[in-house]
Chain A
Amino acid sequence: MSFRIASSPHHHSLAQTPALMRTVALAALPGIAAQLYFFGYAVLIQIVLAMLTAWASEAAMLKLRGKPVLVRLKDHSALVTGLLLAIAIPAVAPWWIVVLGTAFAIVVVKQLYGGLGHNLFNPAMAAYVLLLISYPQQMTSWLPPTQLQHHAVTGADPICLVFSGYSCQGFSVAQIKADVDGKTMATALDTLRNDLTAGKTVTESLQQPVFDSYAGLGWSWINLGFLLGGLFLLQRRVIQWRIPVALLGSLTLLSLLAWLADSDRFASPLFHLFSGGTMLAAFFIATDPVSASTTTKGRLIYGALIGALVFVIRSFGGYPDGWAFAVMLANLSVPLIDAYTKPRAYGHRPGI
């Protein structure tokens, strides 16, 4: 009888990459649900489009590169990339935005760099930046929360908007975004930035209807949803605490200092934490292991760097929300961070 030869260890934990990816998708559900509630089901259309594109481009690229397609597809990493991009872009952005972005993310940022594990940049964020620079108008077409919509987006409207750019009644995105007075309602961050530029104080700006008590209406709930999902990931040990904690910590600290120094010109830490994509970035995007620092100390630095960059871009930069830029800049500094935070191996402590 022949016996099977294997190399040690003969034992393996049950954590496996495909399962990890599925858990990530699962953890995004609360946040998606909140988006669904405040911005309608258009987000689901985006997710479906993104996942289909991701899956198809991944398969095509694997085939082109002569890799085993089915085995690699099963790691589900492409689906997670698509999912994250779909969540990040405005729900009623035209369909080709998400298709183009996802294809770019998979084909160029991931596969052309050598596939899973080899990409320097977070694919979803690189694609997001590309889209933001190329199609700034479409990429900022966040509708006001359903509750504030003058022309309510209902029924088949999301489908019409995504595929034609007009609601079924023929309203354009710009028209829907307008409030009763015909003034365009932007997201909380946009509004704040515009108001501050116009010379208003933060307190004055926060009186507007797109804000609830402390952050953007709806956005605080979406952020809470992603926070919940993030905690779930932490609990399941899919991600480690260092990056999110460092990221949120540095963002909180910097915004707190600025706010204490000048509360008229700077928003409160709470506003920063629960506006825009803070929680999504902190738990789902910055923690992407491939493009993050791999050393334990390095992860603290990496997270803190993103938090600081976001604060700087939000407070002083030209874009209202800076997640994608911050993450990409931090991605760039990963090799440096890793090189300087190499842990001291056992028995290599100086002076022993």
Chain B
Amino acid sequence: MPSLFQQIKSGQLWDFHGGIHPPARKKLTSQVAIGQISLPERLYIPLRQHIGVAGKLLVKAGDTVLKGQALTAADNAMAIPVHAPTSGKVLSIEAYPSAHPSALPEPTLVLEPDGLEQWRPRHALDYLHTERPHLLARIQQAGIAGMGGAGFPTHIKSGASTGVDYLIINAVECEPYITADDVLMQHEASTIVRGIDILCKLLNPKAVLIGIEDDKPLAITAMQQACAGKADYLVRVVPAKYPSGGEKQLIKLLTSKEVPNGRRPLDIGIVMQNVGTVFAIAQAVEEDIPLISRIVTVVGQTLQHSQNIRALIGTPVGALLDACGFAPEPQQRVIMGGPMMGFTLPTLQIPLVKTTNCIIAPTRHELPAAGPEMDCIRCGACAEVCPAVLLPQQLVWYAKAKDYDQLKAHNLADCIECGACAYVCPSEIPLVQYYRVAKAEIRELAREELKAEQAKARFEARKERLERDKQQRAERNQALAAQRQSMLAEQQKQQILAAQQRQEQQPQETLSKEQIIAERERKKAEARAYQAAKAEQAEGSPAATAETPAADPRAAAVAAAIARAKAKKQADAVAHEPTPADSAPAEAAPATTAAQPDAETDPRKAAVAAAIARAKAKKQAETASPEPTPAESAPVAPAAQPESDTDPRKAAVAAAIARAKAKKLAEQAAATDTSAPDQTNPDQTAPVESAPEVAVPEATPDTTAPDPAAAKKAAIAAAIARAKAKQQSKPTEPEQPS
């Protein structure tokens, strides 16, 4: 069995699945001389005419340019410059309808030819004595991109230095009507072969296969003659069948290989170049002529004479048609490209670009418009002709149902949009149109999926960050609380000391009253600071929801401060005059009034505030008692009562209880508030329960303490209870779903 290479060398051809035989209509133009047209008034040169990015603009409106001068720079690998097709003046760079099925405006340079055809200096290269990088740079700088239709940058395709077995020159030109490559081969075969020589130097292939359809006898002869003496240049005549000029189909046809799904021809050792591209390469290297003109087939029965025209890039289609005696019919269609894969133009302003090989202006009878779409009869004619071996009838079914998974399973992505299926479909279903829409939808979907994924990642990162923040906050708060606790203990110690001192300094009553007021003031400030701290704690969460829970700790703090003040006052009262606890407020009132003349407005205000606070605390205590208080608090009172028969002590205990109650209330309120969004959370009931528990052990030992110290101890206990309660209340701090 001969090797594949031997089989290929011996001239064997293979077949690809499907394909159709539409009327070729190539005789209309294939043997008509190549025409020229006079310089159009304006040339419209789109800045990007290939697959890739536009180069940086090198000229500006008002500049005078020379023929062949680069208008954009080849500033990166995917950038292909465009050149001034003739000398003249740059009028503007503006958005202009593009040579694309959508005709969306694209940045286009408008050039006014001056008719002088003045060339820029040119530097021919001798490819044999030029390094590869220089040759590739020349190809890129000449603005050469695949001229068969795709417009892929040629210097990239020609840059592979190893692993190329076959260089295939695509001269098949399988679409009906088009003869641009045909006439090019007829007239420029030797230049084309020199272009192949250059590519061979770049790619180093084992063999060159030149595929030409058998309906181009003149081109075949010309190429065979030009290739005479080159043993590795094999002209392969392939039977006319559409779409044998498709890249994948031609590879199969000439080498029996299939490009694996999702890979490039280079992966199986094949590089394919269009014959027009090869010609452009030769011109660029040998004569330093950039890609500024090309041969285009202008054909159709609405034209007086159909012919191939060598036209400058940027020539408006209208000018080309007019040069051929265009007499449009109503509802005229003008097609850029072939009848199978070309697109209709909405306006004749659209310019000729590097990839334009044909302009068709058919009559209605010549290429009848598609009839009304009928139901698919599942005849399978489409599947028989599909060169990609797909099941077009199933694809259209799933495309209509928008079943993207099935579309993927049926390899919609492999559809080359050749139109063979729609050509044969007896129900005249615009199959390709359905596929285009479905493909666009799938692309859109993939984009959205990507977006959603990114958003999800973003969201998760944010959640993590917030979680981290919360943890840090909690740690900080804990530290703060501990600090506060020790600070409070210190204060209480100082208070005790101060009380003892006061006890010793009984005679200086007025002074001590002033001190009391000052002390109250200090406490108030403390309370305010505490409030502020509390508010700060609640700050991390959104204002609206945080406000209510925040208010409660505040209220609790106020209540605590008041209770503290009361307890102190009472303790003081105990120390000074053994009056019943009931009279304490009464006693305090004169005390404050007595202080009035001494103190300025501030102490007065403070006294009033204290009175109000006191009253409030009382009221709160009152309202708290009728409420179903937890059982734990009840034993405390009786337990304390028998032992603490003295009034001050009772008062202190009562104050402690009141404080604890007020706190608990506040916490309950806080708990209910915070539990509102999440009521089933068992954690949140814990502080409510533990608050009395805290009060019990602290309050009971107090009662055994000696009288004056008892009140103070109660105050300390209250402070501790407060701190503890606060600490406990922290976990219940409103957790907002951030």
Contacts and interface: CB of A to CB of B under 8 A. Distances in A.
B partners with A:
yes
A10 B339 contact: yes
B432 interface: yes
A182 interface: no
B332 A8 contact: no
Given A9-B432, A15-B426, A346 B374 contact: no
Interface stretch (B125-133, B257-265, B456-464, B587-595): B257-265
A343 B392 CA distance: 11
A9 B375 contact: no
A105 to B, nearest CB: 16
B423 A342 contact: no
Interface string B264-276: 0000100000000
A12 B428 contact: yes
A13 B433 contact: no
B378 A3 contact: no
B339 A294 contact: no
B378 A346 contact: no
Nearest to A119: B378
A9 B432 CA distance: 8
Interface in B377-415: 377-381, 383-384, 387-391, 393-394, 410-411, 414
A255 B168 CA distance: 53
A118 B393 CA distance: 12
Given A12-B428, A345-B390, A299 B374 contact: no
Given A343-B391, A352-B260, A71 B380 contact: no
A6 B344 contact: yes
A294 B391 contact: yes
Interface stretch (B197-205, B287-295, B364-372, B631-639): B364-372
Given A6-B333, A117-B378, A294 B394 contact: yes
B343 interface: yes
B454 to A, nearest CB: 31
Interface in B658-700: none
Contacts of B340: 8-11
Contacts of A346: 16-17, 248, 252, 258-259, 387-389, 414
A72 interface: yes
B380 A289 contact: yes
Contacts of A71: 372, 374
Nearest to A20: B426
Nearest to B418: A9
B346 interface: yes
A67 to B, nearest CB: 10
B331 A4 contact: yes
A5 B344 contact: yes
A71 B428 CA distance: 13
A299 B422 contact: no
A7 B391 contact: no
B52 interface: no
Which of B337, B374, B419, B430 is most buried by chain A, counting CB atoms within 10 A of its CB? B374
B367 A344 contact: no
B560 interface: no
A116 interface: yes
Contacts of A349: 258, 260
Interface in A272-318: 289-290, 292, 294-296, 299
Nearest to B420: A9
A190 interface: no
A296 B381 CA distance: 10
B385 to A, nearest CB: 9
A75 B374 contact: yes
B411 A4 contact: no
A115 interface: yes
A333 interface: no
Nearest to B248: A346
Question: Nearest 5 pairs between A and B by C-beta?
Answer: A9-B419, A289-B379, A347-B261, A116-B375, A11-B339
Interface of A: 1-13, 15-17, 19-20, 71-72, 75, 77, 115-118, 240, 289-290, 292, 294-296, 299, 342-349, 352
9 contacts: A4-B369, A9-B419, A10-B340, A10-B360, A11-B367, A12-B423, A292-B378, A343-B17, A347-B414
